[in-house]
Each structure stands twice: as C-alpha cells, then as structure tokens.
C-alpha cells in the first residue's frame, strides 16, 4: 500500500507538471475567471482602474502561425500596422488579465499604423496620429485558447499628446477590421480573414474606460487563415 501511494503521488506530480495544451476554441471569456475585457491603462503603477477596451479578438481557431509573435506581426503588416518608429516607445506598457491564470501581464507588443510603409511609416503616425493596437495573448493553464486580444484605438497627433480621438476606440476597431477582412498578403504570406461582431463581452458606455470615451460595446472576433 505504501508503494502504491508513493507511485500514485508520483504520477499526480508528473501530471501537474505537464503544461495544459492549447484548446481548440475561439477564445475564453476573461470575465468568467476573474479577468477583464478592459486592460489596465496604468500598467499597475497606480490605483486607477481605468482601461482600454479589448475590442478585437484574433480567434484561437486562426492558423497557428498567425498566433505567434512573428506571425501576427507579419499579418499586422499586411493590414497596415508595423513596429514603432525606430523601436522607440514613450510611456510604460499596459497590462491585461485575460482570466487564463496568468493574472495581469504586460502587452506583448504595441503596433502603429504605417501609412503604407512598414519600415518608417509609423514615424508619421507618431506625428500626425492614426490607428494603433496593443496585443495580449490568452495562454495560461486555466484558459489556453491561444487567442490574441487587441486593444485598438485611433490616436490624435503629437500636439494633442497622442490622446485617444473622440470615439477613438470604436473608430480604431472598425478601421482595423475593414482593412483585415477578405484577402491580404505580406512578405509572401496570403491571408483570408472573416469577422463577427460580438455583444455582451464589453458593456456599452464609458464606465471604467480610459479618457472617459464611450464605446458601443461591440467586440469583433476575426479568424485569420493562411491560404
């Protein structure tokens, strides 16, 4: 009996150490497990609970390569986004809790509208404003969908301090989706993207939203397939 008990304890320990594999779902609702559909705009540096809406989700049922860091960056370049001007970022990263057991984690990357030039076009966005996005990956052991949650918003120009434009969360989301849906390509990789508007994840209005800018409560789920 002692040997049997030791054997079972060993098996249980090995099982607990094995990472939970990615599950074949679009995404898990972060609020179902203590997470939020608003990120934390303070990055955890203050007591403020204001955040930006996670208003676009890249489905976990997208082509696996799209859900990697490099794969998503290539897709982002196909729809008009790129890395920040000369890699320079002002301000701290924002955090998000996607209800996957990881708690609040820093954004994976922040990308900006490139105005047709993925090399230096984001420098123009830094001056005149434009669309930008933050990426968070849902991959914790409690909800491992692999989905990417995006906080997308339209910014004002540099003289306005890059604040969010009026209705900038809705506008930013809609511009990204309009550029993504259908057929796109970059660097020899072609994509086919579909979109579905979801309600019930984000409440409409401005409660808890950074800059007190109201949203329409719509989150758009996009599924990106490499063709």
Q: What is the DSSP string of 67-91?
A: GSHHHHHHHHHHTTEE--GGG---S
pLDDT for the residue numbered 204: 96
Q: Is residue 192 one of the residues assigned to a domain?
A: yes
Q: Is residue 2 one of the residues assigned to a domain?
A: no
pLDDT by residue for the chain (227 residues), tens only, comes to 443 444 334 433 333 333 368 889 999 999 999 999 999 988 665 546 799 999 999 999 999 999 999 999 999 999 999 997 855 555 568 999 999 999 999 999 999 999 888 888 888 887 777 899 999 999 999 999 999 999 999 988 766 556 899 999 999 999 999 999 999 999 999 999 999 999 999 999 999 999 899 999 999 999 999 99
Query: What is the C-alpha separation between 113 and 109, in angstroms, rounded?
Result: 14
Q: Is residue 105 one of the residues assigned to a domain?
A: yes
CA 151 from chain centre, in angstroms, equals 6
Q: Is residue 109 one of the residues assigned to a domain?
A: yes
Number of domains in the chain: 1
pLDDT for the residue numbered 5: 44
Q: Which pair of structure tokens corresponds to residue 220?
A: 């758009």
DSSP 136: E
Q: Is residue 89 one of the residues assigned to a domain?
A: yes
Q: Print the domain residue range for 46.
A: 22-226
Q: Is residue 10 one of the residues assigned to a domain?
A: no
Query: What is the C-alpha separation between 227 and 224, in angstroms, rounded?
Result: 9
Query: What is the C-alpha separation between 199 and 138, in angstroms, rounded?
Result: 19
pLDDT for the residue numbered 87: 58
Q: Is residue 12 one of the residues assigned to a domain?
A: no
| Alpha-carbon distances, residue 218 vs 16, 58, 91 (angstroms) | 37, 14, 27
Q: Is residue 161 one of the residues assigned to a domain?
A: yes
| Number of residues in the chain | 227
């Amino acid at each position: 009996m002692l040997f049997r008990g030791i054997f079972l304890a060993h098996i249980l320990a090995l099982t607990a150490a094995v990472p939970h594999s990615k599950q074949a779902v679009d995404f898990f609702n972060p609020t179902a497990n203590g997470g939020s559909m608003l990120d934390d705009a303070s990055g955890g540096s203050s007591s403020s609970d204001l955040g930006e809406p996670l208003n676009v989700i890249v489905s976990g049922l997208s082509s696996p390569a799209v859900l990697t860091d490099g794969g998503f960056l290539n897709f982002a370049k196909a729809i008009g986004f790129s890395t920040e001007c000369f890699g320079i970022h002002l301000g701290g990263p924002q955090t998000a809790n996607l209800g996957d057991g990881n708690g609040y984690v820093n954004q994976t990357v922040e990308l900006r509208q490139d105005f047709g030039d993925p090399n230096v076009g984001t420098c123009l966005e830094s001056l005149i404003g434009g669309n930008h996005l933050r990426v968070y990956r849902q991959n914790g052991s409690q909800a491992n969908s692999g989905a990417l949650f995006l906080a997308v918003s339209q910014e004002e120009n540099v003289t306005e301090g890059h604040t969010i434009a009026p209705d900038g969360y809705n506008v930013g989301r809609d511009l990204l989706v309009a550029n993504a849906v259908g057929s796109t390509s970059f660097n020899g990789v072609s994509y086919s993207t579909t979109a579905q508007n979801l309600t019930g994840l984000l409440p409409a209005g401005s409660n808890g939203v950074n800059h007190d800018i109201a949203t329409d409560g719509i989150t758009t789920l996009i599924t990106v397939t490499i063709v």
